[in-house]
Amino acid sequence: MKEDMFKKACLIQFTTSVWLCSRVLNQKILAEKIGQENEWLRGRKFLINPELLGPIKTAVQQARQTIQRHSLPFPITSIYLVPKEALTAIDERLQYFKERFWNKVQDFKAVYGAAKEEAAAVLGNDLFNEADYPADIMSKFKLDWRYLELSTPAKSRILSPEIYEREKEKFANLMEETREMAMIALREEFSGVVNNLVDRLTSNDGKPKMISNAMFNKLNEFLDDFSTRNIFEDEELAGIIEQAKSVVSGVSPYGLKYNDVLQKKITKGMSDVNEAINASIEEIPRRRLKLAVNE
């Protein structure tokens, strides 16, 4: 199974940085200012209006969501396990968001001087400090990623046989935890999608609620991507996925709205799927190694 995984997936290390634009307030100054209502003073002082960084943070979030949509969790922070079949699509989207990210950074740089002037006026002489503001503001931003190949540790002249065997065992444990995390993550993600859909299908009075296109799209998106993301060949979940596909095949929110028989059929079918996926989550033995890696 480990060798098969090496052929099916690789790792993406995703790193970002956005200027924090705040400083912890001196406790004496905070005590003096505590009676003043000021959105810029909340235990920390904002160096600029934080809303100016909103578009930049949005680009970061969208890039991260792109990876998360196609990937599986990995026990090391900021690293994601990605099926190789999804790499091209991910890379194209990341390139798009990277360009968007730097465009937003350039927009921020253009108003950086004015933002400092506003801060000086709002914070006043007691709190405004020119030294808090980077001269090279561009250096405070980053969005990048790199791909890492998975492989079993090879014997080397540097490692003693004892160290090699220990590292090999660590790697085997890491791969086993990755497998468990991936299975749990896919099952829980699908459970969340199905739970929301079932909740929308049935109200307290027994009458179906309105189902949005977005909810159906999210379900179909998961079903379509599942075969690519199922690199550990979770046969039980694959069976539940096929069950769900047979329930919603050819069904649309518009069709449900005007067909009572279809509403009842889909409600029953998706409720059965919901029970199956929730039961499958309880069956997975959970073994957490809790690997800690400093970012």
User: For residue 175, what are the domain limits?
Assistant: 161-283
Domain-located, residue 32: yes
Q: Are residues 206 and 130 in the same domain?
A: no
Residue 175: per-residue pLDDT:
86
Give the tens place of pLDDT for each residue, 147-157: 988 777 666 66
Start-to-end CA distance of the chain, whole Å, equals: 29
Q: Check pLDDT > 50 for residue 56.
A: yes
Residue 295: per-residue pLDDT:
37
Our CA angle for 109, 110, 114, nearest 5°, is 100
Give the tens place of pLDDT for each residue, 271-293: 999 999 999 988 776 544 444 33
Domain-located, residue 171: yes
Residue 49: per-residue pLDDT:
94
Residue 254: per-residue pLDDT:
72
Domain-located, residue 264: yes
Residue 202: per-residue pLDDT:
72
Give the tens place of pLDDT for each residue, 62-98: 999 999 988 998 888 889 999 999 999 999 999 999 9
Q: Are residues 96 and 177 in the same domain?
A: no
* Average pLDDT of the residues of the chain: 83
Give the tens place of pLDDT for each residue, 101-156: 999 999 999 999 999 999 999 888 878 999 999 999 999 999 999 998 877 766 66
Give the tens place of pLDDT for each residue, 247-277: 888 877 776 767 778 878 888 898 999 999 9
DSSP 249: T
Residue 203: per-residue pLDDT:
61
Domain-located, residue 294: no
Residue 245: per-residue pLDDT:
93
Residue 126: per-residue pLDDT:
79
Percentage above 70 pLDDT, the chain: 81
DSSP 159: S
Domain-located, residue 291: no
Pick from 229, 232, 226: nearest CA to 245: 226
What is the arithmetic mean of pLDDT over 18-42?
65
Residue 288: per-residue pLDDT:
47
Q: Check pLDDT > 60 for residue 227.
A: yes
Domain-located, residue 295: no
Q: Are residues 128 and 31 in the same domain?
A: yes
Q: How far is CA 90 from CA 22, 56, 241, 268, in A?
A: 33, 19, 23, 36
Q: Are residues 181 and 60 in the same domain?
A: no
Domain-located, residue 233: yes
- Among 148, 182, 207, the domain-final residue is 148
Q: Are residues 274 and 175 in the same domain?
A: yes
- Domain count of the fold of the chain: 2
Residue 294: per-residue pLDDT:
38
Residue 164: per-residue pLDDT:
74
